[in-house]
Structure 1
Amino acid sequence: MLKEAIFHSPKSNYAYAYNEKTLHIRLRTKKQDVASVDLIHGDPYKWDGGSWNYETKPMKKIASTELFDYWFTSLEPDFRRLRYGFHLTGDETIVYTEKGFYPEIITHDTADYFCFPYLNSEDVFAPPAWVRDTVWYQIFPERFANGNKANDPEGALPWGSAEPTPTNFFGGDFEGVIEHIDHLVELGITGIYFTPIFKATTNHKYDTIDYMEIDPQFGDKETFKRLVQVCHENGIKVMLDAVFNHSGFYFPQFQDVLEKGEQSKYKDWFYIWDYPVQTEPMPNYDTFAFTHMMPKLNTAHPAVREYLLEVGRYWIREFDIDGWRLDVANEVGHDFWREFRKEVKAIKPDVYILGEIWHQSMAWLQGDQFDAVMNYPYSHAAIQYFAKEEISTRDFMYKTAEALMMYPENATEVAFNLLGSHDTPRILTVCKDNKEKLKQLFTFLLSSPGTPCIYYGDEIGMNGEQDPGCRKCMEWDTTKQDRELFDFIATLIRLRKEIPAFGNHGTFQFISDENDKHVMYTKTFENETLLFAFNNSAEVVTVPIPFDLKGRKVTHLLTGDEFAYEAEKVEVTLPAHGYVALKL
Structure 2
Amino acid sequence: MSWVEHAIFWHVYPLGFTGAPHTAEPDEPVVHRLKHLEGWLDYLIELGCNGLQLGPVFASRTHGYDTVDHLAVDPRLGDDADFDRLIGACRERGIRVLLDGVFNHVARDFRPAAWLRRQGAEPATFEGHRALVVLDHDSEAVREHVTTVMNHWLDRGADGWRLDAAYAVPPEFWRAVLPAVRERHPEAWIVGEVIHGLEYRERAGLDAVTQYELWKAIWSSLNDGNLFELAWALGRHSPDTLTFVGNHDVTRIASRLTNPAHLGHALAVLFTVAGVPSVYYGDEQAFRGVKEDRAGGDDAVRPAFPGSPAELAPFGAEVLRTHQRLIGLRRRFPWLARAETTVAHLTNRAIALRAEHDGQVVVALLNIDDAPYRFPAVEPGVRVAESSHRPDHDPYVLGAQAWTVVARTHE
Q: Deviations over 1:196-255 (max 9, x none)?
A: 1111111x210001111001111111111111121122121111111111111121323x
> Following the alignment from structure 1 to structure 2, what is the Cα–Cα distance between the partners of residues 273 and 583?
57
Q: Contact conserved, 2:367 with 2:402, CA < 8 A, in 1?
A: yes
Is 1:273 aligned with 2:119? Answer: yes
Distance 1:395-1:508 versus aligned 2 partners, 3 A rule: same
2:344 is the alignment partner of 1:511: yes
Question: Higher relative CO (CA 8 A, sep ≥ 6), structure 1 or 2?
Answer: 2
| Deviation larger for 208-217 or 172-181 | 172-181
The letter for the 2-side match of 1:378 is: L
Partner amino acid, structure 2, of 1:233: E
The answer to whether structure 1 residue 241 and structure 2 residue 73 are counterparts is no
1:361: how far off?
3.4
Distance in 2 (alpha carbons) for counterparts of 1:240 and 1:208: 14
1:313 partnered with 2:151: yes
* Equivalence map 1:117-516=2 (5 Å): 129-145=2-18, 173-202=33-62, 204-254=63-113, 266=114, 269-275=115-121, 284-317=122-155, 319-366=156-203, 369-386=205-222, 388-389=223-224, 392-401=226-235, 403-404=236-237, 412-432=238-258, 434-466=259-291, 467-474=298-305, 476=309, 477-500=311-334, 503-513=336-346, 515-516=347-348
Q: What amino acid does structure 2 have at the position aligned with 1:133? A: H
Q: Which residue pairs with 1:583 in the alignment? A: 407
Query: What is the rounded CA distance, in whole Å, between the counterparts of 1:372 and 1:553 in structure 2?
Result: 32
Amino acid at match of 1:488: T
Change in Cα spacing, 1:271 to 1:229, as seen in structure 2 (3 Å) is same
Change (3 A) 1:543 1:226: same
Report the Cα distance in structure 1 between the residues aligned to 2:249 and 2:377, rounded to whole angstroms: 40
CA deviations over 1:456-488 (Å, ceiling 9, x no partner): 100011000002321122355233451121111
Structure 1: how far apart are the matches of 2:229 and 2:349? 11
Superposed, which structure 2 residues align to 1:65-76 within 5 Å? none
- CA distances 1:29-58 after superposition (whole Å, capped 9, x unpaired): xxxxxxxxxxxxxxxxxxxxxxxxxxxxxx
The two structures have a TM-score, normalised by structure 1, of 0.63
CA offset digits 1:483-537 (Å, max 9, x no partner): 1211110111111011245x22533121114x44211122234444322211122
Question: What is the distance in 2 between the residues matched to 1:456 and 1:500?
Answer: 22
Matched, 1:542 2:370: no
Tell me, what secondary structure is at the counterpart of 1:492? Answer: helix
What secondary structure sits across from 1:294 in the alignment?
Answer: strand
Distance (Å, rounded) in 1 between the aligned partners of 2:215 and 2:183: 33
What is the CA–CA distance in structure 2 between the aligned matches of 1:464 and 1:240, rounded to whole Å? 24
- Pick closer, same or farther for the CA change 1:353–1:527 going to 2, 3 Å: closer
Structure 2 unmatched ranges of 5 or more? 25-30, 292-297
Percent of residue pairs identical: 25
Q: Which has the larger radius of gyration?
A: 1
Code of the aligned partner of 1:416? L
CA distance in 2, matches of 1:461, 1:429: 9
Q: CA deviation at 1:363?
A: 4.0
- Counterpart CA distance in 1 for 2:71 and 2:145 is 10
Asked if the contact 2:388/2:403 (under 8 Å) is kept, the reply is no
Query: Do the aligned partners of 1:132 and 1:414 also contact (CA within 8 Å) in 2?
Result: no
Q: CA RMSD in A?
A: 2.6
CA–CA separation in structure 2 for the residues paired with 1:360 and 1:496: 25
Tell me what 1:529 maps to.
361
Kindly indicate whether the alpha-carbon contact (under 8 Å) linking 2:99 and 2:158 is maintained by their aligned counterparts in 1: yes
More displaced stretch, 241-250 vs 444-453: 241-250
Preserved CA contact (<8 Å) 1:491 1:558: no
Q: How many angstroms apart in 2 are the aligned matches of 1:489 and 1:346? A: 37
CA contact (8 A) 1:553 1:562 kept: no
Query: 5+ unaligned residues in a row in structure 1: which ranges?
Result: 1-127, 147-151, 157-170, 255-265, 276-283, 405-411
TM-score of the two chains, using structure 2 as the length reference? 0.88
Give the total of aligned pairs.
Answer: 393
Deviations 1:319-363 (A, max 9, x none): 121011111112222222012211211111010111111112324
Residue 341 of structure 1 aligns with an amino acid whose one-letter code is L
Matches within 5 A, 1:22-33: none
Change in Cα spacing, 1:535 to 1:209, as seen in structure 2 (3 Å) is: same
Distance (whole Å) between structure 2 residues aligned to residue 561 and residue 541 of structure 1? 13
Q: Distance in 1 between matches of 2:128 and 2:55?
A: 22
Change (3 A) 1:352 1:543: same
